[in-house]
Structure formats: C-alpha cells, structure tokens
Structure 1
Amino acid sequence: MKTLKSLSKKGVTLNFSYCHRLPERSFFFKGRQLPLCSRCTGINLGYFFMPIFALGFLKISLFWTIIMILPTYIDGTLQAFTNYESNNKLRFITGLISGIGTMSLITIIGVFIGRQILILIN
C-alpha cells in the first residue's frame, strides 16, 4: 500500500493512503491536475444534490440510498486490498452516485431527527 505518511503513537500505526495526488487517478483541466482523485471529485459533485433532497423535490428510500452508497466502497476496497485496478470513469461514476446517496441519507436522518424533536416538544 502506498502511503503519504505514517503516524505512530503508543504502538498504534496509522497509514494515510493517498490517491488524490496520483496523476493516473485524477482528472486534468487545461493541463493542470485537479486536487482530488476522480472518485472524490464525483462524491463532491454529488453533494450539490443536497438542496434537491432538503427541499423535498426528490425522495429516495433508505434501501436505495444505501444501495447507492455501496458501489464506491466496494470499488475502493477491492482496489485497496486486491490487484484490481479501477479506472477514472468508474471511480467518478461510483463517487457521484455515492455523493448523491450520502446527501439522501443525511436528509433522511435529518427529517427523522426533526420529527423526533417535534414529538418531544408536543
């Protein structure tokens, strides 16, 4: 595993893997490498869907929300622990879907917490 740096404290070693700075895992714009890998670029773009969920324009069930989040973790885990090497298109697509799913999950949790608060005050 490629690591940027290791942190060792009280016998525990944490390895911070890096992919954001690997040119083969990043997109380029006008000849300059973007600061995030293609997967994280997709995840962050998916976050722009938050207002769509928060304002109630789109609702996805909890089941499908979790299904949307899983592929990016499966792809990333396979890549980290096996010889499988993903490609930028797949990283971006799974990241985008995961980012959208994450915003749906945050909205589901927020609505649930809001309803619980309303029940408590009433």
Structure 2
Amino acid sequence: MGRQCFKAWLYKWLPIFCGCHCRPDRSFFYKGEQFPVCARCTGELGGILLALLTWRLGRPGPVWSAALLLPLAADGVIQLRTAYESRNRRRLWTGLLFGYGLANLLFLSAAWVFRQGYAFGKTL
C-alpha cells in the first residue's frame, strides 16, 4: 500500500473508528492540512498508544485509571452546561488522560479475566 493510499484510508476510516466529528475548529492542522480526527480524539489515540507502550513498565491501578477518565468528562459536561468552550490544547490533554486510563482499565480487566480463567482451569 503506497503512502497516498494509506493516507486516504486513514483519513476515511480513523474518524469512523473514533466516532469523531472532525470539526475544523476543534482539530489540529499541520502544513495547512487538517488532522484526520479532532484534538480530543488525537489525545485519546495517543493515550491508548502510550498505555500500550508502557504496559510492561508499570501502570496505575483501577482506581487511578478510572480517575484519569474524569477530566475529559468534566470538560465535556462543563461545555455542555455553560457557555465555556475549551481550547484544543485542553482537549488534547484531557483526551490523552482519558485514552491512557481507558486502555489501562481494558488491559487490567483482560488480565483479571485471564487470571480467573487460568485459576478455574487448574481446578478442572
């Protein structure tokens, strides 16, 4: 797959995968070209990748991982209920924390299910 073909594929499917609105006023631009997803989704994807890369080095527990979801939720609720509108830098950081926390919760729950299944299998 060539570079242009991959880029076209990415720009088509990444917003669908993320459920992103892709609004230009809430997106980053590089060399005059809009990112395929908004600032918040960019942060979420970065957080997920960061969690994947750092999983073996150490991770927060489930309570801390759940707490990392709160800044994005708070930012969204505040924007919904008031005239405040956050800037892309805040959207990026809250998305990064959310993606990292969400991925950690997913990995922690998958590891727990694996351990429980393994322990149950040993009793058979």
Note whether the superposition's TM-score is higher than 0.5: yes
Q: Which runs of 5 or more residues in structure 1 are unaligned? A: 1-17
Q: Which runs of 5 or more residues in structure 2 are unaligned? A: 1-18
Q: Deviations over 1:64-103 (max 9, x none)?
A: 1011111111111221333221111100001011111111
1:99 maps to what in 2? Answer: 99
TM-score, reference length from structure 1: 0.77
Number of residue-to-residue matches in the alignment? 103
Do the aligned residues in 2 keep the contact of 1:26 with 1:34 (CA within 8 Å)? Answer: yes
2:9 maps to what in 1? Answer: none
| Structure with greater strand percent | 1
Pick closer, same or farther for the CA change 1:84–1:115 going to 2, 3 Å: same
| Structure with greater helix percent | 2
Map 1:1-122 → 2, pairs under 5 A: 20-49=21-50, 50-53=52-55, 56-122=56-122
CA RMSD of aligned residues (A): 1.7
Q: Deviations over 1:36-90 (max 9, x none)?
A: 110110001111121421xx21121111101111111111122133322111110
TM-score, reference length from structure 2: 0.76
Q: Tell me, in whole angstroms, the C-alpha distance in 1 between the residues paired with 2:85 and 2:66.
A: 24
- AA aligned to 2:88 is N
Q: Tell me, in whole angstroms, the C-alpha distance in 1 between the residues paired with 2:40 and 2:96.
A: 7
